[in-house]
Structure formats: structure tokens, C-alpha cells
């Protein structure tokens, strides 16, 4: 299994103000912790994704990737609106594990998605054989479609199935229609089934609704684009690493061996160039 989405950090309240104090997130989550939870879950490789919007984050994650064979790829952050961002991309891609870039668009106003300087930076990514991780909330799907259409050469991976407005007992109809539109775009090369539990209100997130969202995602995008991810350690607010890995294994258990392998490892390997 390849975990297509997790984070690592050396915790401080100043650097991570969004982390709830006294939560399981409010401590260091580094290579030893990663190797421990992945070993228990039977996960043999991972993709670590940026959690801070500073260039030092990319270097930090690459330094952690150098400490373990468990980390197969790094999705870092670069200043995409900087006209000299190509220099950073060139420097970072010297490292064989640097596989992609992400900006936390879920925190940006709609206007940011359409900024000319942001798109100038996005347009440089394909030349370095990198992908772009798209992090949005469901409500941002309409403007995200404009971004995707403006960058047809950019391979894009959709994080956390676009963070649906999840509630027990239903699949949101606006999410479904928006995802169907995104799936029509060939440059959406992957979609991560991860991070959904923390989109439910406290106390919700029943197995039936999780299953319904998985089945909808699979039907919309097909087994060649859906990939397993944990969003660890954020997932610890609702579940353990092992339990979420078991959940996704169970959800894929009725599929063919080929489709199971694609979702649990092959799609992540393909999208991030993991050999």
C-alpha cells in the first residue's frame, strides 16, 4: 500500500496555529512516528505533503525523506506567484523524491484561483515533470474548474475528494455534480480518498455514508484515478492510521485485484513517478 497523502511536522503553536491545543496533533509527528504507524498498517510507501506555506517546508520534508525509504515522494510548497519561482523549482527537482507542489487554496478567496501571476507559476510546473495537488472545499469547485481549464497541460491531483459538505445518511448533490464536471477534465490525473472523516460534524461519519462517498468517487473517476490516502496525523482527530487503512482496504475488497492494486498503490506510483 502507498499512502498518497500525509503530513509531518515538528510541532509549535506559532507555526501551526490551526492545530487544536491538547489534541493528538499538537506534538511532533516525524519519521519515527511515521515508520511506526505505517508498519502496523502494512503501508510500504508514502507521499508526504506540505503543511506550511514557506519554502523552508519543502527543504524540511526532503530532509526527512532522506532519513527513510518509507517516504517515496514529497509534495512541497513554492512561491508560485513569484516571477522567479522557476529557480526554486529547478533547485528542488534536483532531489529525486520531489514530486509535486501544493498551495493551500482552500484558505484563499475565489479571486486567487484566477490570478495571472499564480497561473504563470502553475504553467511552469509541467516542465519539471511535477504534479499539482489541488486542495479545495466543495464550495470552491466552480472556480477550481476555471483553474483546471486554464492549465490543460498541468497534471492535477484532487486532494480529499474536494472536502465534501459531509453529513450522515446522504451524499451531497452539489458535490456529486461538481465532481462529475471535474472528472471530465483529462488533466485531473488522480483523486485522493482521504480526509473525509474530518469533514463531518463532530459525532458523525458513519460507515454507510463513508461507503457511499467511496462508491460515488469510484463511479465518477474510475479505478485508474482514485487513490488511498490517510491525511495522517490530521485523521487522528477522528480515527487511527490503522483503522482508516483497514477501512479503505475493506471498501476495495470487492473489486478486481487489478483495481485494488491501482487504488491502494498503483495510481499513486504513476501520478508521483514512484518507481
C-alpha cell at 246: 483497514
> How confident is the model over 7-35, as pLDDT tens digits?
999 999 999 999 999 999 999 999 999 99
At residue 202, φ and ψ (nearest 5 deg) are -50, 130
Q: Are 26 and 9 in contact (CB under 8 A)?
A: no
**Exposure string over 166-195, b if 16+ CB within 10 A, otherwise e:** beeeebbeebbebbeebbeeeebbbbbbbb
> How confident is the model over 181-235, as pLDDT tens digits?
999 999 999 999 999 999 999 999 999 999 999 999 999 999 999 999 999 999 9
Strand order in the sheet with 45-49: 2-6, 45-49, 71-76, 98-103, 131-134, 156-158, 188-193, 226-228
Q: Provide the CATH number for the domain around residue 259.
A: 3.20.20.140
pLDDT at 255 over 90: yes
On the CB side of 173, CA atoms within 13 Å amount to: 0
Closest CA to 46 of 87, 88, 2: 2
Give the pLDDT mean for 36-54. 98
The residue range of the domain holding 237 is 2-272
> How confident is the model over 72-98, as pLDDT tens digits?
999 999 999 999 999 999 999 999 999
Alpha helices in 6-112 (DSSP H): 31-41, 55-65, 85-92
- Whole-number Cα distances in Å, 173 to 19, 81, 96, 143, 265: 30, 34, 41, 18, 29
> How confident is the model over 136-175, as pLDDT tens digits?
999 999 999 999 999 999 999 999 999 999 999 999 999 9
pLDDT at 269 over 90: yes
pLDDT at 135 over 90: yes
H/E stretch holding 157: strand 156-158
Q: Are 41 and 241 in contact (CB under 8 A)?
A: yes
Q: Look at the chain and report how many structural domains it folds into.
A: 1
**Exposure string over 241-264, b if 16+ CB within 10 A, otherwise e:** beebbebbbebbeeeeeebbbbbb
**Is the pTM value of this prediction over 0.95?**
yes
pLDDT at 275 over 90: no
3-state secondary structure of 125: helix
Amino acid at each position: 500500500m502507498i499512502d498518497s497523502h500525509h503530513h509531518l511536522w515538528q510541532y509549535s503553536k506559532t507555526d501551526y496555529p490551526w492545530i487544536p491545543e491538547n489534541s493528538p496533533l499538537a506534538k511532533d509527528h516525524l519519521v519515527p512516528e511515521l515508520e511506526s504507524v505505517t508498519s502496523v498498517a502494512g503501508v510500504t510507501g508514502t507521499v508526504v505533503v506540505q503543511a506550511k506555506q514557506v519554502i523552508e517546508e519543502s527543504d524540511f520534508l526532503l530532509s526527512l525523506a532522506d532519513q527513510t525509504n518509507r517516504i517515496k515522494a514529497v509534495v512541497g510548497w513554492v512561491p508560485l506567484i513569484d516571477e522567479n519561482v522557476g529557480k526554486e523549482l529547478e533547485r528542488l527537482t534536483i532531489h529525486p523524491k520531489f514530486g509535486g507542489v501544493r498551495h493551500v487554496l482552500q484558505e484563499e478567496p475565489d479571486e486567487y484561483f484566477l490570478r495571472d501571476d499564480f497561473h504563470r507559476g502553475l504553467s511552469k510546473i509541467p516542465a519539471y515533470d511535477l504534479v499539482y495537488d489541488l486542495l479545495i472545499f466543495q464550495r470552491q469547485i466552480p472556480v477550481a474548474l476555471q483553474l483546471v481549464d486554464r492549465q490543460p497541460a498541468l497534471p492535477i491531483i484532487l486532494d480529499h475528494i474536494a472536502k465534501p459538505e459531509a453529513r450522515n445518511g446522504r451524499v451531497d448533490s452539489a458535490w456529486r455534480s461538481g465532481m462529475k464536471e471535474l472528472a471530465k477534465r483529462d488533466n485531473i490525473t488522480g483523486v485522493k480518498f482521504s480526509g473525509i472523516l474530518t469533514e463531518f460534524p463532530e459525532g458523525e461519519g458513519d460507515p454507510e455514508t463513508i461507503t457511499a462517498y467511496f462508491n460515488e468517487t469510484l463511479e465518477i473517476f474510475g479505478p485508474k484515478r482514485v487513490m488511498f490516502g490517510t491525511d495522517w496525523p490530521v485523521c487522528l482527530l477522528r480515527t487511527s492510521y490503522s483503522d482508516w487503512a483497514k477501512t479503505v482496504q475493506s471498501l476495495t475488497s470487492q473489486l478486481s485485484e487489478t483495481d485494488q492494486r491501482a487504488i491502494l498503490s498503483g495510481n499513486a506510483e504513476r501520478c508521483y513517478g514512484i518507481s
